[in-house]
Amino acid sequence: MDPVSTRTRILIVDDQPDMLELLRERLQSWGYNVLMTSSGEVGLVLARKHQPALILLDVLLPDLGGHDVCALLKENPDTQEIPVIVLSVVRTPQLVERAFQVGAEDYILKPFEANYLKNRIAACLLGGDAAQPTEGQP
């Protein structure tokens, strides 16, 4: 197990209960501590309160969209250094580009391979370069 993961908290913000559960199970099996919510607004509160090492953020949320959440995180001195990986089914170039413009470190299209996600998380936590958006494959 990666030594970073044994002490790292990750916040998941996704409005799909199945995706929240899948990500929670994967991340915990990799040794991460997990916080999760289906609300962008609650995600902002959790990020400020718990200072996770990384945030997995969906674009399509019912209250405050992922792009807005990311922008607000990056504008706040308390959360601006937290890396954000966007996980989304949205494949339009404009929305992908917007995610990077508001500060996302990476953009992974759903569905994705678990090992690819694991590697992208590790790269963000260790300061690696962000990948170009892909279909969840290396």
- pLDDT, one tens digit per residue, over 75-123 is 999 999 999 999 999 889 999 999 999 999 999 999 999 999 999 999 9
Q: How far apart are CA 131 and CA 133, in angstroms?
A: 6
Confidence tier at 66 by pLDDT (50, 70, 90): very high
Asked if 120 and 85 touch (Cβ cutoff 8 Å), the reply is: yes
- The pLDDT assigned to 80 comes to 97
Q: How far apart are CA 115 and CA 62, in angstroms?
A: 28
Q: Which domains does the chain have, with CATH numbers?
A: 5-125 (3.40.50.2300)
Q: What is the pTM of this model?
A: 0.89
Q: What mean pLDDT is reported for the chain?
A: 90
